[in-house]
Structure 1
Amino acid sequence: METCHGASLVILCLHLAWVSCLQKVEQSPQFLNIQEGESTIINCNYTENTNQGLQWFRQEPGKGLTLLFYIISEENQNGRLRSMISRKERHSSLHITGAQPEDSATYLCAVGAQ
């Protein structure tokens, strides 16, 4: 069973590396500390136009990636989380409203190329 998980992790890392080779993706802020109940925005800028969607992931300490949003146009919302994209500006943002302790995680965006 451990071998299977190791193989899955390698495939995921290779996939993310392939996406990064085609796109330059920058997130800001790189580090963020907010108080419970506050709201925040995480920004994602990318260099190339894409026909594919942008993905926002969350990774809790010691766990794998969880897909939050696959956003193709405009805006998606799921509870206190909202993602927006502007293809013209090559920008996406992830909004967290009323932060809770369980929101503590690493947040990542990934973009595919044409």
Structure 2
Amino acid sequence: MLMIITSGVCVESDISQSPQDVTENENGKVSTDCSTTDTNQALQWYRQYPNQALRHLVKGKTGKQQKERITATMNYKEKGSNLSITGTEVTDAATYVCALETQ
């Protein structure tokens, strides 16, 4: 079965996320990168299923944050983050959004 994971529109104007669209089979691995010009705030990742609200996944400034099969590697010194999902499942098909932590 084929699944699609879409990287969403970024919440902040000084954040970029790529690739925008990722397609993968079940039991695969996908990843998306997020970069920012701001090094003072933590990056956060959200997931949004169709017709549902954003749901917070992880946040941090540095190191790895893991939630089941989802791993976010945060590196504020390099102004970025990588979100990866291993063992992809149909239920992973969603929009994934990177954002800066608000004050």
| TM-score, normalised with respect to structure 1 | 0.75
State the shift of 1:112 in Å.
3.9
Q: Take 1:79 and 1:94, find their aligned partners in 2: how far apart are those partners? A: 13
1:68 aligns with 2:57: yes
Q: For 2:78 and 2:16, how far apart are their aligned partners in 1? A: 13
Indicate the structure with greater strand content. 2
Q: Is the 1:56–1:108 contact (alpha carbons within 8 Å) kept by the matching residues of 2?
A: yes
1:49 to partner: Cα distance: 1.4
Q: How far apart, CA to CA, are the structure 2 residues paired with 1:106 and 1:78? A: 17
Structure of larger gyration radius: 1
Partner amino acid for 2:21?
A: F
Summarize deviations over 1:87-108 as a string: whole Å, max 9, x none: 1110101010010000000000
Equivalenced residue count is: 93
Q: How does 1:93-112 map to 2 (within 5 A)?
A: 93-112=82-101
The 3-state SS of whatever aligns with 1:32 is strand
Task: Give the C-alpha shift of residue 37 in structure 1.
Answer: 0.6
Structure 2 runs not aligned, ≥5 long: 1-10
Q: Which runs of 5+ in 1 are unaligned?
A: 1-15
Q: 2:45 touches 2:59 (CA, 8 Å); kept in 1?
A: yes
Residue 80 of structure 1, CA deviation? 0.3
CA 1:62–1:92 in structure 2 vs 1: closer, same or farther (change >3 Å)? same
The 2-side partners of 1:65 and 1:71 are apart by 18
CA distance in 2, matches of 1:113, 1:70: 11
Runs of 4+ with >4 A deviation: none
Q: Distance in 2 between matches of 1:113 and 1:26?
A: 17
Aligned-residue offset at 1:113:
7.3
Percent identical: 34
Give the structure with the larger helix fraction.
1
Counterpart position of 1:4:
none
Cα distance in 2, alignment partners of residues 87 and 111 from structure 1 = 11
